[in-house]
Structure 1
Amino acid sequence: MLDRLAAAIDRHCVGPASDTVIPRLSLVAVDEPAEPVGQLYEPMICFVAAGAKRTTAGDLSEVAQAGEMLLTTIDLPVTAALEKVPYRSAVMRLDDRAVADLLVELDETGQVTPAAVTGQVRAPITPELLDAVTRRVELLDTPEDIRPLSPGIESEILYRLLRGSFGDVLRRWSLADSTTSRVRQVARWICERYAEPLSIDAIAAVARMSPASLHRHFKATTGMSPLKYQKHLRMQEARRLLASGDATAAQIAQAVGYVSATQFSREYRSTYGLPPGQDAARLRARLSRTRTAPGRS
């Protein structure tokens, strides 16, 4: 069944990663080793059909390999590194309303306590769940079937997740006023304002927690403090801008919220090992080599 899922991914993945016409479904197919990359993960589940990938966020690190799934419960800046190639995965972004509606239908909205949830959780993919995920990806073979069949298969996947090892995590994730929900909301709030000057007191007020309580729960969920989380967002966006445009390091420093270009350069080098200008040149050279390399057949 893993081979069947990997084959379906191969048929429809354009480039290393691509969205699909199926709502909330993306595919990843990488054949060659690649340097670790910084990415902002949103709440989603990655079903690994082949290979293995490590994701690191602050103090947290998980390796998901073939036959396993990785649940990300929060907007999370991570460093993703392939540990085994070829790598194939199907990625399903979570629809919080769909999860909540299913819990209401199952009458399971009050069966858990609102404890905190780690930002990433890994578990084996059950045969029944793997079958449902594979059938959803295979709908891309018959586009006319997507609209009538995809919603039902998505509901089946969510149902099997709630009945499996991710059940308690997803129930806590969906609770409207749980600790997890507050941390998730404040993480999204920081993402929308990462370039602004933010204080821990202001962030705690949004979360409706004390600064000490926010720090404890936020670090348990994301592997980093709220302000370090903001710094990771700034660094990821700065690196993207450096690689894709002609702006100077000073201009990018200002764009991502730094008053001091010197401080920006110092923190950038601490994060990526090179000053912004040198790292940008290396990234552009790597991107140029990728564009001229033979494509995946």
Structure 2
Amino acid sequence: MLDRLAAAIDRHCLGLGSGTTVPRLFLVSVDEPIEPTDLLYEPMICFVAGGTKRTTAGELSQVARPGDMLLTTIDLPVTVELEQVPYRSAVMHIDGRALTELLVELDETGQSAPLPAEGQVCAPMAAELVDAVTRWVQLLDTPEDIRPLATRIESEILYRLLRSSLGPVLRQWSPADSATTRVREVARWICAHYTEPLSIDAIAAAAHMSPASLHRHFKAATGMSPLKYQKSLRLQEARRRLVAGDATAAQVAQAVGYVSATQFNREYRSAYGLPPGQDAALLRTRLTHSRTATTRRA
């Protein structure tokens, strides 16, 4: 069954990863080893059909192997490393409204144990779920079927997820007064305002949590404190801008919220092992070689 899913992904994935005409479906197909990559994961679930992926967020790490599903419940800056290739996966960006409506229909809102602490959870897929995900991806073979069937199959996938070991996690998605929901909102706020000074007291008050409680729940979910989370977002964006070559290190440091260029250089080197300019030049060289190799194979 995983072979059918991997084959469907191969037929429709453009490049290493691509969106599709099926709403909320993203495909990933990687044949050759690549450098560990910094990404900002949104709430989503990754269905792995082949290869092995490790994601690291702060002190937390998850490994997803063929037949596994990796659920991310919060906006999360991660480092992704493909430990085994070729790698194939189908990614569903979670529609919170559709999930909530399904929970209401099943009368299962809030009827579960407390959410596991981590913002990422990995579990094996049942055969019925693999089949549903495969049919969802295979809609790309018959575009005329996408509009009438995509939402229905997506609902089936959510239903089967609720019946899986991830069900208790998903049932905690909608309660507005849960610590999980508050932490997710805090993370979303930091993502939108990461260049600004961060006041833990103000954010904790807005989330109706004490600073100590916010710190505890936030670190449990993301593997890092709110301040380190903000720093990860700043450094990821700084690295992206430096590799693009649009500005100097000093200009990038200011753009992502650093007042001190010295502090930026120190924290960047601590995170990536090289000063900003050297690291960006090395990454650009590797990207050029990778694109050249891909062109030659094509």
Smaller-chain TM-score range?
Answer: over 0.9
**Does the CA-based 8 Å contact 2:113-2:168 persist in structure 1?**
no
Distance 1:260 1:110, change over 3 A: closer
Equivalent residue for 2:207?
207
CA distance in 2, matches of 1:148, 1:195: 42
Q: TM-score, length-normalised on structure 1? A: 0.98
Task: Note the C-alpha offset of 1:13.
Answer: 0.4
Distance 2:114 2:214 in 1: 15
**Residues 106-152 of structure 1, C-alpha deviations (whole Å, 9 max, x = no match):** 01114135556420000001000000000000000011100000000
Q: Helix, strand or coil for the counterpart of 1:292?
A: helix
Instruction: Identify the residue that residue 58 of structure 2 maps to in structure 1.
Output: 58
Tell me what 2:165 maps to.
165
Counterpart amino acid of 2:128? E
Q: Structure 1: which amino acid aligns with 2:210?
A: S
Structure 1 residue ranges (4+ consecutive) displaced by more than 4 angstroms after TM superposition: 113-116
Indicate the residue corresponding to 1:155 in structure 2.
155
Partner of 1:273: 273
Q: Would you say the 8 A contact 1:45–1:94 is kept in 2?
A: yes
In 1, are the aligned partners of 2:110 and 2:172 still within 8 Å (CA)? no
CA RMSD of aligned residues (A): 1.2
Which residue is equivalent to 1:145? 145
Amino acid at match of 1:214: L
The Cα of 1:200 is off from its aligned counterpart by: 1.4
Query: Which residue pairs with 1:132 in the alignment?
Result: 132
The corresponding residue for 2:16 is: 16
Residue 52 of structure 1 contacts residue 85 of structure 1 at CA under 8 Å; is this kept in 2?
Answer: yes
Residue 80 of structure 1 aligns with an amino acid whose one-letter code is: V
Corresponding residue of 2:238 = 238
What SS class does the counterpart of residue 172 from structure 2 fall into?
helix
Residue in 2 aligned with 1:67? 67
1:38 is aligned to 38
Could you tell me how far apart the structure 1 residues matched to 2:129 and 2:39 are? Answer: 26
Contact 1:117–1:173 (8 Å) recurs in 2: no
Aligned residue in 2 for 1:282: 282
Contact 2:28 2:87 in 1 (8 A): yes
CA contact (8 A) 1:114 1:178 kept: no
Equivalenced residue count is 297
Q: Scaled by the length of structure 2, what TM-score is found?
A: 0.97
Structure 2 match to 1:121: 121
